Amino acid sequence: MEEIQYYRPTKAVIDLRAIQENIKQLREHLQSDVQIIAVIKANGYGHGDIEVAHAAIQAGATILAVATPEEAVHVRSHISNTDILVLGASPVSFATYAAQNNILLTVFSKEWVEQVALLQLTNKLKLHIKMDTGMGRLGITSTYELQHLYEAIAATKQMELDGIFTHFATADEKDTQYFNEQVKLFADMLQVLPVKPRLVHVANTATALVKDRSLQLDAIRFGISMYGLAPSHYVAENLPFPLKPAMSLETELVHVKKLAAGQSVGYGATYTAKEDVFIGTLPIGYADGMLRKLTGQTVLIDGKRAPIVGRICMDQCMILLPKAYTVGEKVTLIGTQQNVTISLDEWANKLDTINYEIPCIITNRVPRIYTS
């Protein structure tokens, strides 16, 4: 890949070994014939789809999953052999490219199949039927629809039913009632199919890690914990193996100044020094995904926590230094310094959201740098 010269010291460091370790641990936990689908949608949950895909394949993943046709095209332009499943909706107009490039599409409409059947496809298009068993998102909801969809696919030589799947709404929660209802509905609906397709899959990370092994079926869709993060507090407390977070966020001090008591920092002058203090300026701001709500969040410098003071700007923010450090001193916003860790979960708590959202909101301006 093209080498880009970076001048600003702000970077997201992605530890590909951590991703591989998480996959290998999952592999140990799974029955041997269960395949691992590496979920690399949304640019690999912000970690970089291509780099994560290569690492995941090396570690044992055999299928890649993305959300959109565009993501599939991007991955296919770098990786030629591995199956890519598009989990989201694809328009009829994508069927030709998908068939030619071994991209598996999610299907949930008989009309869609009938329209694709009118195209002159040169290769068979592989389809995965999506069943909505309680997520209320994509998917057919009745055995009637399943029957007709199945027959529409079987009626054409252009397409082949390669898989069938559903997605759970509450797999990461302790209470199993809703989850069990989804499991039962899926099993009941499956009875309609005269032959089992190659891949029946239901498990996301939470299902794979904390639910019954019988739900591993033919494949696991492994997302959040491939990146070393737990899907929920409940799953975090019941993990079958430790996870290694892959992403750190780092920068350096670009300016250090002494403020006298009474002087202020940032837009709105919201922070005023009560005594003489040292303030450090970091070249990262809300345009990098460091949202303004993160004021007060601490960062690590020299293994110590230092708080962000004043309002976070578009490209910069300021921290209260424990002493006068020099320009170029390393600052870790997410990650570990001298045994002190700021996790993605800590940011998620501060932002009142889930850890999934954090790597996704680190914008493209922040280069992803890989270690392996």
- Active-site positions read 41, 267
The reply on whether position 235 binds ligand PMH by CB under 6 A is no
Work out the number of other CB atoms within 10 angstroms of the CB of residue 274.
8
Query: Is the distance from CB of 278 to CB of 258 less than 8 angstroms?
Result: yes
Per CB under 6 A, the segment of 3-11, 20-28, 215-223, 280-288 that binds ligand PMH is 215-223
Among 10, 43, 90, 204, binds ligand PMH (CB under 6 A): 204
The reply on whether position 232 binds ligand PMH by CB under 6 A is no
3-state secondary structure 19-83: HHHHHHHHHHHCCCCCEEEEECHHHHHCCCHHHHHHHHHHHCCCEEEECCHHHHHHHHCCCCCCE
The reply on whether position 245 binds ligand PMH by CB under 6 A is no
Strands 35-39 and 304-309: unpaired
The reply on whether position 133 binds ligand PMH by CB under 6 A is no
| Complex with ligand PMH: residue 280 or 359, whichever CB lies closer | 359
- Picking from 137, 121, 138, the residue whose alpha carbon sits closest to that of residue 129 is 138
The reply on whether position 223 binds ligand PMH by CB under 6 A is yes
Binding mask 54-93 for ligand PMH (x = CB under 6 A): ---------------------------------x------
Per CB under 6 A, the segment of 77-85, 94-102, 145-153, 202-210 that binds ligand PMH is 202-210
Output the smallest distance, CB 343 to ligand PMH, in A: 17
Identify the helix (H) or strand (E) that includes residue 349: helix 344-350
The reply on whether position 131 binds ligand PMH by CB under 6 A is no
Among 217, 224, 299, 358, binds ligand PMH (CB under 6 A): 224
Phi first, then psi, for residue 45 (nearest 5°) are 45, 40
Alpha carbon of 279 to those of 99, 118, 254: distances in Å? 57, 66, 11
Question: Within the chain, what is the greatest distance between any pair of CA atoms?
Answer: 79
Binding mask 146-175 for ligand PMH (x = CB under 6 A): ---------------------x--------
Q: Establish how many alpha carbons lie within 13 A of residue 346's alpha carbon, considering only the half-sphere containing its beta carbon.
A: 15
The reply on whether position 231 binds ligand PMH by CB under 6 A is yes
- Picking from 192, 148, 186, 184, the residue whose alpha carbon sits closest to that of residue 167 is 186
Q: 362: which 2 tokens?
A: 């680190």
| Complex with ligand PMH: residue 84 or 224, whichever CB lies closer | 224
CB-based closest residue to ligand PMH: 223
Among 14, 30, 39, 129, binds ligand PMH (CB under 6 A): 39
Q: 196: which 2 tokens?
A: 């089992």
Q: Establish how many alpha carbons lie within 13 A of residue 313's alpha carbon, considering only the half-sphere containing its beta carbon.
A: 14
Output the smallest distance, CB 29 to ligand PMH, in A: 14
Interactions with ligand PMH, residue window 341-370 (CB under 6 A): 356
Among 90, 205, 248, 355, binds ligand PMH (CB under 6 A): 205
* Range 141-149 contact pairs with CB under 8 angstroms and sequence separation of 24 or more: 142/189, 143/188, 143/189, 143/191, 143/192, 145/110, 146/189, 146/192, 146/193, 147/192, 148/110, 149/107, 149/108, 149/109, 149/110, 149/113
Output the smallest distance, CB 246 to ligand PMH, in A: 13
Per CB under 6 A, the segment of 89-97, 204-212, 237-245, 316-324 that binds ligand PMH is 204-212
Q: Which residues contact ligand PMH by CB under 6 A?
A: 39, 87, 167, 204-206, 221-224, 231, 356
